[in-house]
Amino acid sequence: MPSYDEPLSDEPDDVASDDITPHGVIPDDVLPETALYDPDHLDPADPAVRRDALGDVADDQLNADYLPSQTGPTHKSAYPPIDDYAFLSDCESSCLIARNGSVEWMCLPRPDSPSVFGAMLDRSAGHFRVGPYGVNVPAARRYLPGGMIVETTWQTDTGWLIVRDALVLGPWHNNDKRSRTHRRTPMDWDAEHMLLRTVKCVNGVIELEVSCEPAFDYHRSPARWEYTGQVYEQATATCEGESDCTSITLTTDLRLGLEGREARARTRMKEGDSVFVALSWSELPAPRTFAEAAEKMWATSECWRQWITLGKFPDHPWRGYLQRSALTLKGLTYAPTGALLAAATTSLPETPGGERNWDYRYAWVRDSTFALWGLYTLGMNREADDFFAFLHDVATDGNGEILPLQVLYGIGGERTITEYELGHLHGYDGARPVRIGNGAYNQEQHDIWGTILDSVYLHVKSRQQVPETLWPMLEKQVQGAIEHWREPDRGIWEIRGEPQHFTSSKIMCWVALDRGSRLAELHGETDYAKKWSELADEIHADILDNGVNADGVFTQTYGGDTLDASLLLVPLLRFLPSDDPRVHKTVLAIADNLTEQGLVLRYRTDTTDDGLSGVEGTFTICSFWLVSALVEIGEIQRARHLCERLLGYASPLELYAEEIDPRTGRHLGNFPQAFTHLALINALTHVIRAEQKITSGEFHPAHRA
């Protein structure tokens, strides 16, 4: 088995990257004129083919050159690839589990709390493994269909084992007193604050190992274990020192041993044996028997399937990708407040070993509202009600006065997200610094007004009514766009260089006025509707005068010539019709000149001052935007080809990080990324609907203004 960073291709290092052919496409000059297999063309003089002949064939030859070649010296890493992790959520907590069965990232009690298991960012920062002793690579791993339960199948020299992991959901439990954290309307089901792991030996004999070694407060507070059960079935870990940490309790039908900061268990399982291990952090009772554990696992599966059934998914081969993306977006919501996290992690690097490491465990207004696009597309708009209630909470003070909207908030509505570094952590594969908090919370970013108003308009236009509680906040956002649209900002990509006049920010200010005027009309505010429509026209004309170069291509900044992938939103936001020549030229310019091996960059780091050093991978959301934009301009075949290639880059569990290195296929950045999954939903829906148009009539885009 190769190490984590060992190249998959057998091609020598000096093969040019331009020689790499996209997934699923065989160059014409490679195919012989005859069929690949034609008995009439067999030569009796040819030597017989050995049974192991494929062992001498390079991987890239077997896969039509899809697997990219390694372009530098190999690096054997102690860290799993980012896309190797499984993501679990109960909409109040989340965790990432590596392929070897180890929980390597978990923060309690909230996703933005300090970590309890942090081996993802430092191999000594805590883990929780359940799996066969001495074996680290499973035979298979999958999500059970329709939910957030991971099933891992293990094969050893002596038997087979199946492990299922879930963050448990069950019936609403705050029936005696109200929840102290839940602000949204209670649902039928709720998180039980428990990570449940069930194990079943299905063949032979297996040596099972359990190792739970927490490292509280980002590995700053050592754990202290003590037995809390009658014999060996339960132990509780608390943190030493002055840190205010969430205690965790391990409950199992195995015999636990306590060895320093580690709780351990080992047993020999034979065919038919079943055991469970439950990690809990609340007063809710843990299971005491495997039967009780199995009941909780079934209830969790039922909760997720009831939710996913609310969606409208096409009868199409890509249905699974759409469902997994919808489940991931749901898993990134924080149910008590309605917030939606940008990602579940912090400081996974955008550049291997580099400094582009950020904390994404917060609610970006832009990311959240864009994410609602994806859920709208699938007919799942209930999350929007909770998110708009969250926005109302953070945009008003205790007296009901409207506050200025920030770029991002804590998932509990916190307004100050102080950024600092954890110098004692090694960082993922040596990428430092590890950052906690995010300094972008007080940046000037002028796109947030447009993203909110567009999302609200999508949400309410079918109801033909603007909620009265939302109108004051919406009016405030329109006024913000009116007051600031002429000023420079730091743009959608939150550059840490000097503020500039970003064209995409101006477009989003136009969206704010355009959607605001439509909402005002729905709300019966005809004077506002007329005034804001006229201002939208003014901004529109200003953008066309200053944000388009002599070649008719939209540019990153006013008066510049640099391309920016955010300009793919021009047709998607209905700023111009898709058949406008400037739209066509912009989309093709980005496709041809802002890509690395066909995947889209946000911008060229050598032409954009983002205040950081080093390069970054291609931004996956931008590549999915390109798919949607290509469909809009009629390049459906090219869009489908890129879409299929992007789906080929998905993790084994159909998840995506923020970026992809086009040379290696390696995922980069925080994981899983809400922004990426929402763009996937929009792109796949665009392609599916466009292809259906061929036989069923007019094309309906996934997102309509």
pLDDT at 19 over 70: no
With H, G, I as helix, E, B as strand and everything else as coil, classify residue 509: helix
pLDDT 10s digits, 304-322: 999 999 999 999 999 999 9
Q: Considering the entire predicted model, what is its pTM?
A: 0.86
- Could you tell me the two tokens for 197? 């792991």
Mean pLDDT along residues 156-182 = 90
- Could you tell me the two tokens for 175? 């029936």
The values of phi and psi at residue 580, to 5°, are -70, 135
At 389 the pLDDT is 85
Task: Work out the pLDDT band at 18, boundaries 50, 70, 90.
Answer: very low
Comparing CA positions, the residue from 486, 459, 463, 443 lying closest to residue 373 is 459
Sheet holding 667-668: strands in order across?
Answer: 618-619, 659-660, 667-668
C-alpha distance from residue 181 to each of 64, 174, 249, 384, 657 (Å): 53, 11, 21, 19, 29
For the chain, report the end-to-end CA distance as a whole number of angstroms: 50
At 17 the pLDDT is 38
Mean pLDDT along residues 299-304 = 97
At 612 the pLDDT is 61
What CA–CA distance (Å, rounded) separates 211 from 102?
Answer: 9
What architecture (CATH level 2) is domain 82-308?
A: Distorted Sandwich (2.70)
What CA–CA distance (Å, rounded) separates 231 from 255?
Answer: 8
Mean pLDDT along residues 326-338 = 95
549, 557 contact by CB (below 8 A) = no
What CA–CA distance (Å, rounded) separates 336 from 390?
Answer: 10
Residues of the chain with CATH 2.70.98: 82-308
Helix count and strand count (H, E) for the chain:
15, 26
Task: For CA atoms 346, 347, 352, 356, give the dihedral sign.
Answer: positive
With H, G, I as helix, E, B as strand and everything else as coil, classify residue 541: helix
319-696, CATH topology level:
Glycosyltransferase (1.50.10)
- Could you tell me the two tokens for 609? 């001052």
* Element (DSSP H or E) covering residue 692: helix 674-696
What CA–CA distance (Å, rounded) separates 497 from 255?
Answer: 56
What CA–CA distance (Å, rounded) separates 208 from 274?
Answer: 11
Comparing CA positions, the residue from 129, 161, 162, 166 lying closest to residue 149 is 166
What CA–CA distance (Å, rounded) separates 257 from 234?
Answer: 10
Mean pLDDT along residues 217-241 = 94
What CA–CA distance (Å, rounded) separates 261 from 239?
Answer: 10
The upper half-sphere exposure of residue 106, i.e. CA atoms within 13 Å in the direction of its Cβ, equals 36
What CA–CA distance (Å, rounded) separates 560 from 545?
Answer: 12
Residues of the chain with CATH 1.50.10.10: 319-696
pLDDT 10s digits, 616-669: 678 999 999 999 999 999 999 999 999 999 999 999 999 999 999 988 999 999
At 507 the pLDDT is 96
